[in-house]
Amino acid sequence: MILLNLYLSFAKVGLFTFGGGYAMLPLIESEIIHGRGWLTVREFTDIVAIAEVTPGPIAVNSATFVGYRLAGVLGGIVATLGVVTPSVVIMLALAMLARRFENSTGLARVKSGMRPAVAGLIAAAALTVARVALVDLKSIMIAAAAALLVFKVRLDPIAVLAISGLLGILIFS
């Protein structure tokens, strides 16, 4: 039963979220923590951190890690299939209709309305992670430095994560 519930939960996330992986995080949080009670906020934040530093889309990685945590390798596979199935089906359908609506003003307006919502969903995900991750002045300083390195210095996010991990070893030992 857990495998079916994993598939359906992540298919729901994949079906009802637009804007990519970060936009999916609030719905994953709602479904996994509040709806199903499968993980705590801290466990979810740890999974998001791991998903961020592993190759691939964060939503897919999160689904894989949550599924694995709950039901082993098969759970990881089922959760991953659940989160990607709606996107695959929708993209195939849209690809078939793309030529027909490529100059549609209605579609352009829909996308214009969805972009700010996606930004809001990403901000909500950031706040969820921040509540758990920013626990003291040291962690706030690392977060501020990471943001500065990415936005101002344009340092690669992987390098920022590596530097932050090293800082964590030095500062939190």
Both structure tokens of 107? 């579609």
Q: What is the dihedral of CA 49, 29, 129, 79, to 10 degrees?
A: 10
Mean pLDDT of the chain: 89
Taking the model in full, what pTM does it have? 0.61
What is the per-residue pLDDT across 61-92, written as a single tens digit (0 to 9) for each?
A: 989 999 999 999 999 999 999 999 998 998 89
- Lowest mean pLDDT segment, chosen from 19-23, 27-31, 112-116, 166-170: 19-23
Contacts of 86 (CB under 8 A, 6+ apart): 11, 14, 15
